[in-house]
Structures are given as C-alpha cells and as structure tokens.
Amino acid sequence: METVRAWPIHIPAPLLLAAGFVIIAGAQRDPLPSWNDGPSKHAIVSFVSDTVRSGATTFVAPADRIAVFDNDGTLWAEQPIYVQFQFALDRVKALAPQHPEWKTTPPFSAILAGDVNGMAATGEKGLAEIMTATLAGMTPDEFAGIVDQWLRTARHPRLKLPYTDLVYKPMLELLEYLRSNGFKTFIVSGGGAEFMRVFAERVYGIPPEQVIGSTIGTELQVRNGQPVLIRIPKVDFIDDKAAKPEEINKFIGRRPVFAFGNSDGDQQMLEWTATGSGHRFMGLVHHTDADREFAYDRASHVGTLDKAWDEATLRGWTVVDMKSEWNRIFK
C-alpha cells in the first residue's frame, strides 16, 4: 500500500474571519508528525480519508463519527501500576494518621509497610477496601480537588515526570486529527470517571461528559439546608471488558466507528465496534519500547495484551508497534 501524502481536511479550506480570530487552513501539514511512516499511520490516514470522502461507499455521516479510546496504556502510561492505584496508595499514606487502626489491618498495613506481596495477597477484596477508603466520603468537587493536588506533585517512580506529562504525543495528535475531521472523541476506560475528568479536558481536549469510566455510588444528601452530592463506598460499575460496550450504549447511545485500546480489557469494545455496519477502525497500542517506555504484553499483570492481540492478528486490526512506529512517545 502506498503512503498517503495528502491529509484529509474536514471542511475544504475554510476561512474564518471573526473579531480578532483568523484561521487559515488548507496548509496540508502532516497531522501525525510523531508517527513514523508505517502500517499504523497508513491505516489511520486511509481510514479517516475514506470516512470523510463524500459519496464514497466508506463515507461516514458526521453524526456517526464516534471514536472511543481506552485511557490506561492507550493514552497514558500504565506501568508499573495504574496511575489511579498509585493515587490510592499515596492517599492511604496521607490518611493514615486519621486511621491508627490501619497499622494492623490489611490491606492498609501492607501498604504502609511497603509490602507489595502482602498488598497483593488481599486480592480484589483488599483493592475494593483501598478504593472505598480513598475515593468515598466526600463531594465530587472535593475529590476532584484532591486528585488535582496529587497530580501536581506526584512523579512517576522511574520516569520522574508528572503523570499528566506521560501521555502519548502520537495519541494526542490522533485525537486532534479525528476531531478536525468531525469525529467526537470519547474515553471509555476502566479508570475512575471522576479521576480522569480532572485532567481529561486540559490534557486530551476531551470534556467531562465525554469521559466514561468506572464509578462509585454518588448520593444526593441535604447538609445545612443545601443539596450536596456525596461519594459513597459502593461500586456502581466497573467499566472494563463486556461492560465497555454496555456503557458505550448507555452513555453514547451509538456504536463507535473507531476504537483504540491496548489490552484484553478492550477486546469487547473493539469487537463491538468491529461488528457494526459500514467503515470502521480498530486499533491496539503494543508496548514494545522498554527504553523509552515499557515493553509488555501477554505475561503482564497490568495491561495484559493476549487474546485481544490474537484477535487483532486474525481480523487485521491495527496493532501499533510503539518502538518502531512512534518517533516520539510522550507529549
């Protein structure tokens, strides 16, 4: 397949003259400069070109240009542990003085002692206890403030950068490229919706109402005569695997034509996208760059890429080889 050199533009050369506001488009710059010429870039550009070409059998009406992205491992780094899990661990440490009983109560005792094996031994039950202890009992605004504060100060253990700097430049370009071609971009992630909403608009250009994720219960209460929402220690839903198409249906109400993930947790979302009618695109990020980021797939506990990879190979979905296809990793 030949390399596409003319980049499609959603509206042909618009010239917008408004008060103090001039855009001159038509300059056909490469919208994906961080992507090397290669099969993934070619597949993306071909798909978008075909989608917006009026009259083509591959044309997709603007209303149906729904693109969904996983977050952890697809838009930002997820190793060595999910960012939100690191947040929860740091939060346990910050809250420990108010909870002396945690010193002797797993999983908190294991976290405070830095005992990774002890933490892991408490399994899903332990994880749920950590999550509810660190995510509930406050208003959504208070929670957002805590997350925002943490994001400003926390640094990745190996890469020594703020987590919001560890978003993938090639994916930021892809989001913008899709939007400039009339796509509406959504996050559909196993991460917490209200965790991601703190930074998604600023970092990805994706507003809160287009961020779908796991949620805990939130209850309207009245305090001092004022209605307040309080996050309660009850899992509402976990937006992973089969729940992803279910939540896409509930929140978006349309089947996407474009889906990008990186792990087996995204497999059902990609299958759901793939089995709609008309032109569609399914992609996976394969983490192959141990030097610049991380290299992991089938054997990894975080972001396992195994069955979804096999299916991608079988069906010809795009699998991005991070090492050879991305000339730049982080923003």
Cβ 137 to a second copy, closest distance in Å? 16
Cβ 184 to a second copy, closest distance in Å? 8
Tokens of 109: 């005792």
Cβ 209 to a second copy, closest distance in Å? 5
Cβ 95 to a second copy, closest distance in Å? 23
DSSP reduced 3-state for 156: coil
Q: Residue 6 or 17: which CB sits closer to a second copy?
A: 17
Tokens of 153: 């100060």
Rg of the chain on CA atoms, in Å: 21
Cβ 254 to a second copy, closest distance in Å? 6
The one-letter amino acid at 206? I
Cβ 72 to a second copy, closest distance in Å? 19
Binding site for a second copy (CB under 8 A): 11-19, 21, 63, 140, 184, 186, 193-194, 197, 201, 207-211, 215, 218-220, 226-227, 229, 236, 242-243, 245-246, 249-254, 268, 271-272, 275
How far from 256 is each of 37, 39, 168, 236, 296, CA to CA, in Å? Answer: 26, 22, 22, 24, 27
Rounded distance between C-alpha atoms, residue 209 and residue 219, angstroms? 19
Q: Residue 60 or 243: which CB sits closer to a second copy?
A: 243
Cβ 167 to a second copy, closest distance in Å? 19
Q: Residue 25 or 96: which CB sits closer to a second copy?
A: 25
Q: Residue 121 or 229: which CB sits closer to a second copy?
A: 229
Residues 104/110/115/116 CA torsion (nearest 10 deg): 160
Which regions of the chain does DSSP assign to beta strands (E)? 15-18, 21-24, 66-69, 184-192, 211-223, 226-237, 258-261, 281-286, 318-321
Q: Residue 181 or 210: which CB sits closer to a second copy?
A: 210
Q: Which residues pair with 230 in a beta bridge?
A: 219
Cβ 28 to a second copy, closest distance in Å? 15
Q: Residue 143 or 296: which CB sits closer to a second copy?
A: 143
Q: Residue 211 or 322: which CB sits closer to a second copy?
A: 211
How far from 80 is each of 94, 151, 159, 192, 298, CA to CA, in Å? Answer: 21, 17, 11, 18, 15
The one-letter amino acid at 78? E
Q: Residue 34 or 132: which CB sits closer to a second copy?
A: 132
Q: Residue 116 or 242: which CB sits closer to a second copy?
A: 242
Tokens of 322: 């991070």
Residue 126: count other Cβ atoms within 10 Å of its Cβ.
18
Q: Which residues pair with 223 in a beta bridge?
A: 226
CA-based nearest residue to 213, from 73, 70, 67: 70
Cβ 6 to a second copy, closest distance in Å? 16
Tokens of 21: 């506001």
Rounded distance between C-alpha atoms, residue 327 and residue 131, angstroms? 37
At 23, give phi and psi (nearest 5°): -120, 130
Strand order across the beta sheet in which 66-69 lies: 226-237, 211-223, 184-192, 66-69, 258-261, 281-286, 318-321
